[in-house]
Chain A
Amino acid sequence: MIYSSGPSSINRSTEAIPNRLELIGSRTSALHHAYGRLVMIQIFFTIAYLALVIRAFDLMVIQGFLNGFQDQGDRPVVTTESNKGTQRDIVDRNGTLMATSIKTVSLYADPRLVIDRENVSLALSKIFPDQKTNDLLKKLLSQKRFVWIARDLSPEQQSSILELGDPGLIFENETRRIYPQGPLAAHAIGYSGIDGQGLAGLERKAAKKLRDQDAPLILTIDMRLQHILRAEIQKTIQDFTASAGAGLVMDITNGDILALVSLPDFDPHTVGEASDDQKFNRATLGTYELGSTFKIFTTAALLEQQNLPMKTTFDTRTPIQVGRFTISDYHPENRPQTIPEVFMHSSNIGTAMMAQKIGTEGLKNFFGDLGLLSPMSFDLPETGVPQLPKPWRDVSTLTASYGHGIAVTPLHMVAATATIIGDGRMVIPRLIKTDEVNTKKGDRIVSQKTTESLRALMRLVVRHGTGSKADVPGLMMGGKTGTAEKSINGRYVKNALMSSFIGAFPMNNPKYAIFISIDNSKPNKSSFGYATAGWTAAPATARVASRMAMLLGLPKLTDEADPSDSLLPYLADYKSNEKQQDIATLPIASSMTLTNKGNIP
């Protein structure tokens, strides 16, 4: 069209101009221009369409191949911050896993989207045998948009649900707290709720420390020692048909708790089924009248404050009368006894006389310095408050001197003993391992001299006294027994015994402290009718120490001098007094009075 009309008009107007060549030239040139433009447009459109074709090919074929013909929406969203919101792992001092979070899948249903409710509920009841078809159908017929079907599915269950292919069944990713060691350290680690919130133990105390971090939380616990302690306490409970037990192993040099046992315990995965008795932490929360083990502190107070020589004698022949109270010995020695003899034979009269010398203020201050009168600061939320005589009369001083009328936790006992026989400075127990090169050390409580005296005295108890069954050849064990009658409903019951043993080794430079208490032990045939600490907790401590030593590769110390050698001159006839039984109790009548006044339930 342009060719016929356009150029012809140009022809007519240019005919008057003589130069034809120019005319022809301009005409051809116009044609060329037009033609050129057309070609350009053609090329442009060709390229444009080509680009479209390539893009279409890309979208339909290439992208399809790359995605494996899947709907992009179904792909799991991958975030680099996969640790957000989950609790970090807990490991023991050797890196053994104690708690971790793993991803699990849960199933819920949107009942409105479920197509065939009857068949789906029938199929689901086959996959989850513990759920009834009727209940499931009820859930699926409800008007809600969200009903839980099951949580923490196994991979098999998940794949069978995928095979059902019902659009109303929807999975949700969750994290689940796992405790691979089961009940082994249940009281130390604690447990978490279904939504990951810490409810007890470290899981609760260190909840903030546990969140949003990659590196695991390292404990001072050694899983192997934990197992040994638990197994031996368990065995003792069975042997003496006891009701419960507790135990602690501590590194005296830095306060690291290496094992913490409270029996009966529970499986942290099924904590809902555990009784309160199982969940109760006897090692750090329970307070007990621990009996004669307290004589360690009274004797230390005497030596520290009065600076008396070991040969000082106490007349233990006649029971002490204070008002209506009578303090007597279980096995009276009818002669005055030296300090080592009083300690070795666990004389209540002798220790009460020591307390008389120290005075109420002196003993209270000393107990206070050791931390026995206030709750321990510890890495667990479960820490018990000591029960003290209220008011603290002079007679309370006498009974407290041998561990009656005052109740503390096993943790108090271990920490205070470690303080006295360690290096005399306050030992602060801890459960979370810290990297501090210089471990935080507390104030000096007792002098080096008192420390050495107490080491010798505790060694003497195991060598010749009431704790002889705690001896392990080569380990230089030392310790102190304690058997207390339990007060039930405000009365001391003669046959309900709380027997305990605090041991340490090697006694010439103590490294480890072991505490074991057995609740309600009953005599058996092999113990010749005894159920006191010397027969229950002391042998258990020996077994724990022996197995510990094998595991930790402790040297055999045959050449070292026995620290108790220095005390032998003060013993009148130690050979004839071997294997004395230890029972530190008041006569029933006075105990009852004490209980009423002493405010111990």
Chain B
Amino acid sequence: MIRHVGTLSVYILASFLGAGLFFTSQHVQIAERDLAHLREEIAVKNDTLKILRAEWAYLNRPDRLEGLAETYLDMSPSSPRQIYMAISEIPETAPVVTTDIKFARDGLRNRIVAEEEAGKSTPEKSAQIAAAITPAAGGNHNVDFSNMLNRLTEKKGDQP
């Protein structure tokens, strides 16, 4: 009888070990699958990052920025006459500006309204300024990027 108990306990032990092995192997499989998923995700994210970097560089082309600055900012290229010292001589700590950006926008809006009422500004100009100060005016950028992609995909007759 004691022998049987021994055999039985071996079986029980074996089945416990088997179950343990089963769960371990499950865990490993799950972990491997997660790893593969993560790797895949990283690869996809890296590819996306590359595209976004390309888009960032594309949208920051100097000629485009120059065009935007000309359209939206009342500024002109500076000349060396305007510089009286080296850039490095400008102190590190700039004067603290306490105006909240929201108020600044309101201020600009009020100015536009005032100018319009005084008949100084044209509607097109106020629309331009309004577009410039509206946060995340976006839209245009995506058009630009899909233009780039379209241009890339325009190639015809690439059959080898």
Name B89's closest neighbour in chain A (CB-CB): A555
Q: Residues of A contacting B61 with CB < 8 Å?
A: 180-182, 184
Chain A residue total in the interface (Cβ 8 A): 64
A450-480 interface with B by 8 A CB criterion: 472-475
Question: How far is A475 from B80 in the complex, measured between Cα atoms in Å?
Answer: 8
What's the nearest-Cβ distance from chain A to residue B149, in Å? 6
B41-61 interface with A by 8 A CB criterion: 43, 46-47, 50-51, 53-58, 60-61
Interface presence of A130 (CB below 8 A): yes
With beta carbons under 8 angstroms apart, the residue of B14, B62, B154, B155 that contacts A224 is: B62
What's the nearest-Cβ distance from chain B to residue A499, in Å? 24
What's the nearest-Cβ distance from chain B to residue A569, in Å? 29
Q: A43-B11, A103-B47 are in contact. Are A231 and B79 (CB under 8 A)?
A: no
Q: Is the CB of B152 within 8 A of A51?
A: no
Which of B79, B85, B88 gathers the greatest number of chain A CB atoms within 10 Å?
A: B79
Q: Is the CB of A556 within 8 A of B85?
A: yes
Interface presence of A97 (CB below 8 A): yes
A14-45 interface with B by 8 A CB criterion: 32, 36, 39-40, 43-44
What's the nearest-Cβ distance from chain B to residue A558, in Å? 9
Q: Is the CB of A152 within 8 A of B152?
A: yes
Q: Residues of A contacting B57 with CB < 8 Å?
A: 96-98, 180-181
Name A475's closest neighbour in chain B (CB-CB): B80
Q: A100-B54, A178-B152, A270-B151 are in contact. Are A82 and B43 (CB under 8 A)?
A: yes
Q: Kindly supply a per-residue 1/0 record for chain A positions 132-152, scoring 1 wherever the CB is within 8 Å of any chain B CB and 0 otherwise.
A: 000000000000000110111
Q: Residues of A contacting B78 with CB < 8 Å?
A: 550
Residues of A within 8 A of B (CB): 32, 36, 39-40, 43-44, 47, 51, 54, 58, 62, 66-67, 75-76, 78, 80, 82, 96-98, 100-104, 130, 147-148, 150-154, 157, 176, 178, 180-182, 184, 194, 223-224, 226-228, 231, 267, 269-270, 272, 472-475, 546-547, 549-550, 553-556
Question: How far is A430 from B153 in the complex, measured between Cα atoms in Å?
Answer: 34
Stretch of B32-40, B103-111, B134-142 on the interface side: B32-40
Known contacts A51-B18, A180-B148, then 8 further A-B pairs from the complex at CB < 8 Å, ordered by chain A residue: A40-B8, A76-B40, A78-B43, A130-B156, A223-B62, A269-B151, A546-B79, A555-B85
Name B40's closest neighbour in chain A (CB-CB): A78
Q: Residues of B contacting A67 with CB < 8 Å?
A: 33
With beta carbons under 8 angstroms apart, the residue of B22, B56, B146, B160 that contacts A54 is: B22
Q: Residues of B contacting A32 with CB < 8 Å?
A: 1
Q: Residues of A contacting B51 with CB < 8 Å?
A: 102
Question: How far is A32 from B30 in the complex, measured between Cα atoms in Å?
Answer: 46
Interface presence of B128 (CB below 8 A): no
28 contacts between A and B (CB under 8 A): A39-B4, A51-B22, A66-B30, A67-B33, A75-B40, A76-B40, A80-B39, A97-B56, A98-B57, A100-B54, A101-B50, A102-B54, A148-B160, A152-B153, A154-B150, A178-B152, A180-B54, A180-B148, A181-B58, A184-B62, A184-B63, A227-B62, A227-B63, A473-B81, A546-B79, A554-B80, A555-B86, A556-B84
Chain B residue total in the interface (Cβ 8 A): 56
Q: A231-B63, A473-B80 are in contact. Are A154 and B154 (CB under 8 A)?
A: no
Q: Is the CB of A553 within 8 A of B88?
A: yes
What's the nearest-Cβ distance from chain A to residue B37, in Å? 9
Question: How far is A269 from B54 in the complex, measured between Cα atoms in Å?
Answer: 14
Q: Kindly supply a per-residue 1/0 record for chain B positions 2-46, scoring 1 wherever the CB is within 8 Å of any chain A CB and 0 otherwise.
A: 001001100100110010001000100110010010011001001
With beta carbons under 8 angstroms apart, the residue of B26, B86, B150 that contacts A62 is: B26
Interface presence of B159 (CB below 8 A): yes
Residues of B within 8 A of A (CB): 1, 4, 7-8, 11, 14-15, 18, 22, 26, 29-30, 33, 36, 39-40, 43, 46-47, 50-51, 53-58, 60-63, 66, 77-81, 83-88, 146, 148-156, 158-160
Q: Residues of B contacting A147 with CB < 8 Å?
A: 159
- 6 closest A-B pairs by beta carbon, nearest first, are A553-B87, A227-B62, A180-B57, A97-B57, A555-B86, A180-B58
Question: How far is A67 from B160 in the complex, measured between Cα atoms in Å?
Answer: 37
What's the nearest-Cβ distance from chain B to residue A307, in Å? 37
What's the nearest-Cβ distance from chain B to residue A302, in Å? 34
Q: Residues of A contacting B150 with CB < 8 Å?
A: 154
Q: Residues of A contacting B18 with CB < 8 Å?
A: 47, 51
Q: Is the CB of B158 within 8 A of A148?
A: yes
Question: How far is A103 from B48 in the complex, measured between Cα atoms in Å?
Answer: 9
Q: Residues of B contacting A96 with CB < 8 Å?
A: 57, 60
Q: Residues of B contacting A100 with CB < 8 Å?
A: 50, 53-54
Question: How far is A223 from B62 in the complex, measured between Cα atoms in Å?
Answer: 8
Q: Residues of A contacting B62 with CB < 8 Å?
A: 184, 223-224, 226-228
Question: How far is A82 from B47 in the complex, measured between Cα atoms in Å?
Answer: 10
Q: Is the CB of A270 within 8 A of B155?
A: yes
Name A67's closest neighbour in chain B (CB-CB): B33
Q: Residues of A contacting B4 with CB < 8 Å?
A: 36, 39-40
Q: Is the CB of B80 within 8 A of A550?
A: yes
Q: Is the CB of B39 within 8 A of A549?
A: no
What's the nearest-Cβ distance from chain A to residue B31, in Å? 11
Q: Residues of A contacting B7 with CB < 8 Å?
A: 40
Q: Residues of B contacting A54 with CB < 8 Å?
A: 22
Name A146's closest neighbour in chain B (CB-CB): B160
Question: How far is A103 from B61 in the complex, measured between Cα atoms in Å?
Answer: 22
